[in-house]
Amino acid sequence: MRDRRFKFSFIVICVYAFLSILSFFSPYDPTLWGVLPRDLPPSFEHILGTNSMGQDIFWRLTFAVRNSLLLGIITAFFSRIIAVIVGLITGFKGGLTDRITMVFNDSLITLPIIPILILISALIKEQLTIVSLGFILGIFSWAWDARIIRSQVLSLKERSFTYTAVLSGMKMFELLTGEYFPFLISLILATAINSMFWAMGMEITLAFLGLSNLEIPTLGTMLHWAVRYQAMLLGYWWWIATPVLAIIFLFVALYLLSVSISEYLDPRVRVERRTRRVSAE
């Protein structure tokens, strides 16, 4: 909590978590149009005003935040499973297994992801849900992180405790989960957060282009409808400003949280901080 970056990101994430929980108590259905008078500016009755579809922007924002965070979590979950398994096994086994897997891994990294996602979204746009989109994004977001984890495993493989464990008869699964995994926690957390805002960024891109399921309230679909109804040109600043500011604060908070956690869990940074503290005292 001494890190200002962590304080800021923690407060922002807590606010977004509160908004997500608040969505369960919404008096309005976010999929219904024309429930309220259109294009009302912010007031005590409607904190963030209403849009041209007759919806309360604040309550729609609560659903959008919840779905966007859920999408990021689902993507990070699926991609972490694949990245950790591939990184651990290829880094430890080496040889032919490593070469074949890394060829496929590097091919996936070089693929143009956005055109592929646009094609998939265009084909199954109406069937897309938060879960299915999160799974699809998770399939395409693990390759780079698997290479990072593999590099760390290759380094751990050359340390003395690895030779001791192998000579003592420890099995590969026990070695990977019991000895290597604790060293990878910081990497997994940092890459998971990066995967979250990458997934949300992809969803915003698809929604902006009208290639996601626009009936599901997300930060991307909020931005899409505001642009489609020309909120900025018509002077409905509260409509366009709400998703834009929500996206900016969320992305900045996730980035700072990733950097803060990575530094906190890095043993080298801890030693440096302790040394500085002792020298200052």
Q: What is the pLDDT of residue 70?
A: 94
Give, to the nearest 10 degrees, the angle between helix 57-93 and helix 219-228.
Answer: 130
- Tell me if 159 is assigned to some domain: yes
- Tell me if 81 is assigned to some domain: yes
Q: What is the pLDDT of residue 39?
A: 92
**How do residues 184-228 score in pLDDT, each as one tens digit?**
887 888 888 889 989 999 999 889 888 888 888 999 999 999 999
Q: In a 3-state reduction of DSSP, which class is residue 50?
A: strand
Q: Which two tokens stand for residue 212?
A: 């996601």
Residue entry with tokens 């949280």: 257
Confidence of residue 267 (pLDDT cuts 50, 70, 90): low
Q: Give the Cα separation of 247 and 80 in Å (integer).
A: 23
Hey, CA dihedral for 18, 256, 110, 205, is it positive or negative? positive
- Tell me if 190 is assigned to some domain: yes
- Tell me if 30 is assigned to some domain: no
Query: By residue range, what is the domain housing residue 185?
Result: 4-18+35-280
Minimum mean pLDDT among 35-44, 158-167, 260-269: which range? 260-269
Contact present, 89 and 154 (Cβ < 8 Å)? no
Q: How many structural domains does the chain have?
A: 1
CATH of the domain at 74: 1.10.3720.10
Task: Please return the burial class of 163, using the count of CB atoms within 10 Å of its CB with bins 0-12, 13-18 and 19+.
Answer: exposed
**How do residues 126-139 score in pLDDT, each as one tens digit?**
788 899 999 999 99
Buried b (16+ CB within 10 A) or exposed e, 151-162: ebbeebbeeeeb
- Tell me if 27 is assigned to some domain: no
Nearest by Cα to 87 from 139, 136, 141, 145 = 145
Hey, CA dihedral for 36, 243, 24, 14, is it positive or negative? negative
- Tell me if 25 is assigned to some domain: no
- Tell me if 50 is assigned to some domain: yes
Q: Give the Cα separation of 174 and 25 in Å (integer).
A: 46
Q: What is the pLDDT of residue 246?
A: 94
Pick 122 or 277 by higher pLDDT.
122
- Tell me if 24 is assigned to some domain: no
* Helix ranges restricted to H, 209-236: 219-228, 231-234
